[in-house]
Amino acid sequence: MFRLSRLAAIVTATATGAAALTLLGTGTTSAAVAPPLSDARVVAHYTFNNEIQQTPENIVLEPDGTADMTFSLSRQVVHVTNRGASYTVRATLPAVSEPHTPILGQAAVMGIARASDGTLYVNYATGTSETGIWRITPGCLPVQIAHLPNPTNALPNGLALDEKRHVLYVADTVGGVVWRVPQAGGTPRVWASGAALQPSPGASLPAGPNGLRVHNGAVWVSNTTQGTLLRIPALRDGSAGKIQTRATGLNWIDDFAFTGNGNTVLAALVAGNDTSTPPNGDTGSVVLVYPNGAHKTVLTHQDGLNTPSSVAVSPQGRLGKTVYVLSAAYFSSPPDPNLLRARLNY
């Protein structure tokens, strides 16, 4: 249990000065981006200070090319329009008077998932009974549909919806498990557990399962302090198969996204230093992870990254696919939370 988290201390120490939202839809294209990405540019900057903490944490794409994302520390879910350059607030999760959220130390909206009918689901981490999954229906207030047990030792982070099975999966970063919850709501059940999902024993922060995706009949999960990308088959009866390690050496991996129908992944690395010490201001990177586990860096701070937290990839368009990268700026000084857009050329 973390009453005063390192992250909260870093946020307070680095968040100096206020900066209004800046729109950069016509900003300068970076020259540092590596193939198969190109045309990388930051399209929006957000405010991060002691009063306003617009930390873009997770993103899901809409069929019309717009997106929805979470501002974790301001407890907001926003709708991103104009190719990322502007947004409107969809919902604000209720304030909690005495949050005891592990690692974060304050209430935070984390992962987001979208149903085909437009309903949104988000993970809310508070260290109180409000910890769990909340449903956001257009025109209605957010409603909690699942309560995670032992909330002072739970940090629901990545979230994914499997509409074929009508279930939601939750990566519990501190609990070291993957939860499964009926889409309609109900009691969470531990779906997958084991050493591969636990935080690294020598890590400075107890951060295990983080990003989570449902892809090709399996649940894929990143483990932040072990630096791994995991694949967990979803068996015919709905239970979890044996956990498979598909990539290693991805220190401080956060969220990730698949580039297409295959198993190639774009992953956000919050920082590049060893997990035995806290992030030291390294602004992180995005790496391309191949199906054989090899990986290469394709975006860095030179492209505008500021501790990136999430990646999304749009369907194929006339000029290729569009990649969206959120930078929450948790560990950066000065903090520059932003949204970067790039082209994926295959």
Domains of the chain: 6-344 (2.120.10.30)
Question: Rounded to whole angstroms, how far apart are CA atoms 206 and 244?
Answer: 21
Contact of 319 with 302, CB cutoff 8 Å: no
Question: Rounded to whole angstroms, how far apart are CA atoms 33 and 285?
Answer: 11
Contact of 89 with 138, CB cutoff 8 Å: no
Task: Give the DSSP letter string of 246-289.
Answer: EE---TTEEEEEESSSSS-EEEEES--S-TTS---S---EEEEE
> For 187-230, what is each residue's pLDDT tens digit?
999 999 999 999 998 888 889 999 999 999 999 999 999 999 99
pTM: 0.91
Is residue 334 pLDDT above 90, yes or no? Answer: no
> For 47-80, what is each residue's pLDDT tens digit?
988 889 999 999 999 998 899 999 999 999 999 9
Higher pLDDT, 95 or 332: 95
pLDDT score at 341: 96
Residue 195 CB contacts under 8 Å (≥ 6 apart), including other chains: none
Is residue 266 pLDDT above 60, yes or no? Answer: yes
User: Strands 56-61 and 67-71: what pairing?
Assistant: antiparallel
Is residue 15 pLDDT above 60, yes or no? Answer: no
Of all residues in the chain, the percent with pLDDT exceeding 90 is: 77
Question: Rounded to whole angstroms, how far apart are CA atoms 4 and 345?
Answer: 44
Contact of 207 with 224, CB cutoff 8 Å: yes
3-state secondary structure of 104: coil
pLDDT score at 333: 80
State the first-to-last Cα distance of the chain, in angstroms, to the nearest integer. Answer: 45
> For 160-181, what is each residue's pLDDT tens digit?
999 999 999 999 999 999 999 9
Minimum mean pLDDT among 10-19, 162-171, 289-298: which range?
10-19
pLDDT score at 273: 57
Phi-psi region of 270 (alpha: psi -120 to 50; beta: other; left: phi over 0): alpha
pLDDT score at 2: 32
